[in-house]
């Protein structure tokens, strides 16, 4: 499914504020434990194993994921705003495919 | 003993109802209402009232609701040109015109003289006007488009026509609902009318209302059509399910919608 990841960041915040950032990506998160009912063979693992958030090029959040994470993973985290800048989110799955999203954050 | 269990169950449910009801009153959503005349139910409860608070929290937040990713697919599909005719939905229909569709459907189309739900309508448009291939009911494109269309009517009370040409379908749906079937010899009514609110193994039986469909089901890890849910129910009583889009399920869809008359459309709802 080629869908854009969904990211929610407040448009502006004060320096030093703690803001919540929400992300949601559509992915089937195949565990690698299921079998194909027709052939009896295992369906290979295909999950998003890494999520990284960067702020102005500096990593601020990282999550490693394992097979117990359900489909369409929703990740929310908090960030203390140091300055205005751009958030850069990257998801990587087992096949090496990446999805990315960018959001600008202004300070007031 | 039985009476004790019964009162205990009702007390617990009422307590739940009050706590949820209080939070929702502010939003103006209706999850439990008085039934329409002729309904066998004492009070109509949306599946929302049977779901866990954490699940409801997912549904209430448009961002957190995983069904909304399919809404995005639908939104993209709406203006995407497809088929031999090179047309898109948006060329004939405005998105605003879709308001109320989710509450009104299924309807009997006067020209075709056939009961149609939103899925059927989308495929009819695709075949006739876009000259494109019809979508399967549970394909991502179909789910997305149906969610997009029905979500325009969110909060509007379900109100289907059951008189006139729809009357025969309504009777057929009603008959289906009360028909015992399968190895277990059970009808829809036994779980969803007589024993709703009670546990079946670890799951709470709901009234089986259709106002949130297509719902994002946590068990499925994706949204699913109402007909997929029908099939699941039929399999559980060990009967052979009908096909998606079959006349039987279409009639049942109409009857179910009538049972939930007045409930707000919740598409895409989140259920366990």
Please report the pLDDT score of residue B29 as a whole number: 60
- Cβ atoms A92, A49 nearer than 8 A: yes
End position of a domain, from candidates B101, B132, B151: B151
Please report the pLDDT score of residue B166 as a whole number: 92
Regarding whether B180 and B147 lie in a shared domain, the answer is: no
Please report the pLDDT score of residue B78 as a whole number: 92
Residue percentage of chain A with pLDDT more than 70:
97
ipTM of the complex: 0.73
A interface with B, Cβ–Cβ < 8 A, is 1, 3-4, 6, 8, 22, 24, 26, 28-29, 70-72, 74
Please report the pLDDT score of residue B235 as a whole number: 94
Comparing alpha-carbon positions, the chain A residue that sits nearest to B58 is A74
Please report the pLDDT score of residue B132 as a whole number: 92
B125 in active site: no
- Category of B153 on φ-ψ map: left (φ > 0), alpha (ψ -120 to 50) or beta: alpha
Interacting residues of A42 by C-beta distance below 8 A, sequence separation 6+ = A32, A33, A34, A35, A36
Please report the pLDDT score of residue B24 as a whole number: 39
Please report the pLDDT score of residue A13 as a whole number: 87
Please report the pLDDT score of residue B200 as a whole number: 87
Q: Is some CB atom of chain A closer than 8 A to the CB atom of B73?
A: yes
Please report the pLDDT score of residue A2 as a whole number: 52
Over residues B149-207, the pLDDT tens digits come to 999 999 899 999 999 899 999 999 999 999 999 999 999 999 999 999 999 888 889 99
- How far apart, in Å, are the Cα atoms of B146 and each of B30, B59, B75, B157, B200? 22, 17, 10, 18, 30
pLDDT at A88 over 90: yes
The partner residue sitting opposite B222, judged by closest CB among A4, A24, A71, is A71
Q: In Å, how far is A107's CA from the nearest CA of chain B?
A: 23
Dihedral angle over CA of B59, B60, B65, B71, nearest 10: 100
Regarding whether B202 and B97 lie in a shared domain, the answer is: no
- How far apart, in Å, are the Cα atoms of B231 and each of B44, B48, B60, B121? 23, 21, 27, 21
Please report the pLDDT score of residue B37 as a whole number: 85
Q: Record the tokens describing residue B244, joined without a space.
A: 């998606």
Regarding whether B195 and B121 lie in a shared domain, the answer is: no
Mean pLDDT split into 10-residue runs, chain B, 272 residues: 40 41 45 87 90 90 88 91 89 90 91 91 92 91 93 91 92 94 93 91 90 91 93 94 93 93 91 89
CB contact under 8 A, A24 and B63: yes
Where in the sequence is the domain holding B46, given as residue range(s)?
A: 2-62+157-263
Per residue, what are the HEC states of chain A? CCCCCEEECCCEECCCCEEEEEEECCCCCECCCCECCCCCCECCCECEEEEEEEECCEEEEEEECCCCCCCCCEEEEEEECCCCEEEEEEEEECCCCEEEEEEEEEEC
Tell me how many domains chain B contains. Answer: 2
End position of a domain, from candidates B129, B151, B173: B151
């Amino acid at each position: 499914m080629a869908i854009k990841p969904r990211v929610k960041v407040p448009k502006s915040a004060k320096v030093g504020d703690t803001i919540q950032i929400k992300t949601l990506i559509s992915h089937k998160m195949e565990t690698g434990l299921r079998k194909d009912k027709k052939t009896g063979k295992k369906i290979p693992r295909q999950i998003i194993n890494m999520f990284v958030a960067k702020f102005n090029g500096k990593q601020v959040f990282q999550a490693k994921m394992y097979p117990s994470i359900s489909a369409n993973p929703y990740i929310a985290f908090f960030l203390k705003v140091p300055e205005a800048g751009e958030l850069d989110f990257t998801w990587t799955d087992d096949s090496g495919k990446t999805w990315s999203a960018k959001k600008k954050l202004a300070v007031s | 003993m039985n009476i004790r269990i019964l009162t205990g169950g009702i007390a617990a449910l009422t307590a739940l109802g009050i706590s949820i009801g209080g939070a929702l009153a502010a939003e103006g959503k209706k999850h439990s209402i008085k039934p329409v005349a002729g309904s066998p139910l004492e009070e109509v409860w949306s599946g929302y009232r049977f779901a866990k608070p954490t699940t409801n929290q997912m549904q209430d937040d448009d961002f957190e609701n995983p069904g909304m990713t399919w809404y995005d697919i639908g939104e993209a599909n709406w203006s995407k040109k497809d088929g031999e005719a090179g047309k898109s939905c948006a060329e004939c229909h405005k998105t605003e015109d879709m308001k109320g569709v989710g509450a009104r459907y299924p309807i009997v189309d006067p020209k075709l003289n056939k009961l149609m739900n939103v899925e059927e309508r989308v495929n009819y448009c695709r075949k006739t006007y876009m000259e494109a291939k019809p979508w399967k009911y549970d394909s991502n494109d179909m789910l997305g488009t149906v969610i997009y269309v029905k979500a325009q009517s969110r909060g509007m009370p379900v109100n289907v026509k059951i008189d006139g040409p729809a009357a025969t379908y309504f009777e057929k749906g009603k008959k289906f609902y009360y028909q015992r079937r399968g190895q277990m010899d059970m009808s829809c009514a036994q779980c969803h009318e007589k024993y709703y609110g009670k546990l079946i193994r670890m799951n709470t039986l709901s009234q089986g209302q259709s106002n949130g469909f297509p719902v994002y089901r946590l068990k499925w890890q994706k949204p699913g059509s109402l007909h997929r849910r029908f099939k699941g129910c039929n399999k559980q009583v060990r009967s052979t399910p009908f096909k998606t889009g079959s006349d039987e399920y279409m009639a049942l869809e109409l009857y179910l919608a009538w049972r939930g008359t007045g409930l707000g459309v919740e598409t895409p709802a989140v259920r366990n």
